[in-house]
A and B are shown apart, each in its own frame.
Chain A
């Protein structure tokens, strides 16, 4: 299947990009980071083509369905979205140090995907719904935004220690100022949060249409609510004395860990109605 070859190439490109950004930080050489940007751009084209080819190939197999319906596809879609999100951030903030903290997330996601079943299988009856498209796409765009936010939050935690001590040296010295990092942590979340909200709502609408209940407290639903609560907490913490800054950054990282639990942990560790997402 040619889509698999393209996805494998994407994995390699994400790896090269991550290495470039990390190397640029380590060697304090901006030129290596520029190469990283180009690799990310190529990876964006290749991964978009891969998704398109996979979609096309599903039609050739007589199945014909959007490539966001199982674990493998959701992982590659997530990595695709993280990469795009990162490129937008890099362009807007004109800073390449973010790459060292964000692109490894995309790379390891692809590596994890490679170890999962990548065959195109027909949809079981429960998944044959147009709600599927809206639900999965909005959720994963949200997740990608949270991944970017958590990567930057980690940078904030590293940087804030140095800024507090009024020193500016080493690898951390290259990172943008705390004010900018804090702003970006927040900005990524105000994109992710509405997408997650729409993802949960479309999931509820779909569940109501398929099972007659929009909310049944199954582990997947509950974890999506937990993720939502953590980011709601972030939004309130940021405007509360004693809770912004480091604590808000930690909440962003906790939020992303909860997202990973909701996305992978529930399928791999717990059981519930969403079991088809795990194979």
Chain B
């Protein structure tokens, strides 16, 4: 027997290893230290960038051990697994013991227990045991908590406790970490993240995910109606706005103007304003009217792109000037009519009717250049995110329980003394913040002692 105690079985040793706080200390240190690496080495950059910084052999080595995407590497995940296993084993090992203690508290104040408690007091009272037991139970209920009364061997024991929840704080906190991990895994397996640029007026139904290696069907279409940029008077950006429409089953089901910090959500898929830019080159807005004034519509001319006009000819925008011959912005166009040499002339933004002077069957007027923008959207679906938030809430609750609650216990033992008087012992203990409990105990002590018949 003695030998067995000295040499625990291999299973016990493994269990003791995984349930030790020393392992927790070790894993916390390893996690903290290795995490630093990924903040010094920029993560997920193109290989060319790394080649500029590191020698070939260093690059090969670092790439081999996944240092360029270390937080998703197998070895880092293994440390996280070790951390989680340690956490779980500690809980499995300690939680039932704690629960047993909480469920079956030591309700009797025997001499052994009384000796271990630093806060205690003794006094004697004239009267009967049951009378004083009742009085003190009342006093404890009023100023501390309702006591549990046990009678044994001619003595009456009162036991009262508050803040039992404090004992659970550490388990709630540990559980919360596991809940957060479950949420994160669910999000990674079932969700996706992607990025898409949508030019104004265009729509997409698919987005590239996982760095463009795969395409994700949205199951509906998202259209960018317009993008606009607002600036402060100083020129700093104030707001990026995208007017988005969701088209599902051929009709618009949702329309919202999103800005940074105010995304759009449809069917669990979120669209976040992320970036913007100019889509392609600028186009020139040109309105066309007949000589008699009948409108014929408007065109957007891209540079050198031929636009045919029925029964007239082919029009091209060939040149643009910010300030042509001192007359402001102007567009140079060429017109090719069938069987005639190409004619070239300038249209002034400031003079919409000036083209009449050309005395042609059609009058052009230039409305100015417009550049088409695109909006850059972050697209994400994360079915695990709410589980993560539940985990976060649990963590905060657990920490508050663990740090700011204290399991405070108070015992009273009443026994018939040899001199006919009732011998009373009062004792107390707190799981934490003993200084505060001392003050509370002193108050309780004076209160209880002052109780009269």
B385 A229 Cβ-Cβ under 8 A: no
B396 A129 Cβ-Cβ under 8 A: no
Question: A202-218 toward B: CB 8 Å interface, digit per residue (1/0)?
Answer: 00111011111111010
**Stretch from A17-25, A50-58, A70-78, A193-201 at the B interface:** A193-201
- Assess whether A29 is interfacial by the CB under 8 Å rule: no
Q: Which of A211, A236, A239, A266 lies in contact with B28, CB distance below 8 A?
A: A236
A233 B28 Cβ-Cβ under 8 A: yes
Instruction: State in angstroms the CA–CA spacing of A229 and B39 once bound together.
Output: 15
Most buried by A among B25, B36, B389: B25
Q: Which chain B residues border A240 with CB–CB below 8 Å?
A: 21-22, 25
Question: B155-181 toward A: CB 8 Å interface, digit per residue (1/0)?
Answer: 000000000000000000000000000
B21 A239 Cβ-Cβ under 8 A: yes
Question: Residue of B at shortest CB range from A227?
Answer: B32
- Assess whether B190 is interfacial by the CB under 8 Å rule: no
A212 B21 Cβ-Cβ under 8 A: no
Q: Give the A-B contact count at a CB cut-off of 8 A.
A: 106
A122 B238 Cβ-Cβ under 8 A: yes
Instruction: State in angstroms the CA–CA spacing of A122 and B42 once bound together.
Output: 30
Instruction: State in angstroms the CA–CA spacing of A225 and B274 once bound together.
Output: 25
B260 A204 Cβ-Cβ under 8 A: no
Q: Which chain B residues border A128 with CB–CB below 8 Å?
A: 239, 259-261
A258 to chain B, nearest CB (A): 8
Question: Residue of A at shortest CB range from B234?
Answer: A122
Instruction: State in angstroms the CA–CA spacing of A126 and B260 once bound together.
Output: 6
Known A-B contacts A201-B396, A270-B40; A236 and B238 likewise in contact (beta carbons under 8 Å): no
Q: Which chain A residues border B238 with CB–CB below 8 Å?
A: 122, 125
Instruction: State in angstroms the CA–CA spacing of A240 and B26 once bound together.
Output: 12
Size of the B side of the interface (Cβ < 8 Å), in residues, is 47
Q: Which chain B residues border A194 with CB–CB below 8 Å?
A: 396, 399-400, 403
Instruction: State in angstroms the CA–CA spacing of A193 and B169 once bound together.
Output: 14
Q: Which chain B residues border A210 with CB–CB below 8 Å?
A: 260-261, 272
Question: B371-392 toward A: CB 8 Å interface, digit per residue (1/0)?
Answer: 0000000111010010011001
- Assess whether B395 is interfacial by the CB under 8 Å rule: yes
Q: Which chain A residues border B382 with CB–CB below 8 Å?
A: 208, 212
Q: Which of A215, A243, A258 lies in contact with B25, CB distance below 8 A?
A: A243
Which residues of chain B have a CB within 8 Å of any CB of chain A? 21-22, 24-25, 28-29, 31-32, 35-36, 38-40, 42-43, 71, 184, 193, 232, 234, 236-240, 259-261, 263, 270, 272-274, 378-380, 382, 385, 388-389, 392, 395-396, 399-400, 403-404
30 A–B pairs (Cβ distance < 8 Å), ordered by A: A121-B236, A124-B236, A124-B237, A125-B239, A128-B260, A197-B395, A201-B392, A201-B395, A204-B388, A209-B261, A209-B263, A210-B272, A212-B379, A213-B193, A213-B380, A214-B388, A217-B38, A217-B43, A226-B32, A229-B28, A229-B32, A232-B28, A233-B25, A233-B32, A236-B24, A236-B28, A239-B21, A240-B21, A270-B40, A271-B42
Known: A212-B193, A222-B39, A239-B21. 14 other contacts (CB 8 A): A122-B234, A190-B404, A197-B399, A201-B392, A210-B261, A212-B270, A212-B380, A214-B388, A222-B36, A225-B35, A229-B35, A233-B25, A236-B24, A270-B39
Which residues of chain A have a CB within 8 Å of any CB of chain B? 121-122, 124-126, 128-129, 131, 190, 193-194, 197-198, 201, 204-206, 208-215, 217, 219, 222-223, 225-226, 229-230, 232-233, 236-237, 239-240, 243, 258, 266, 270-271
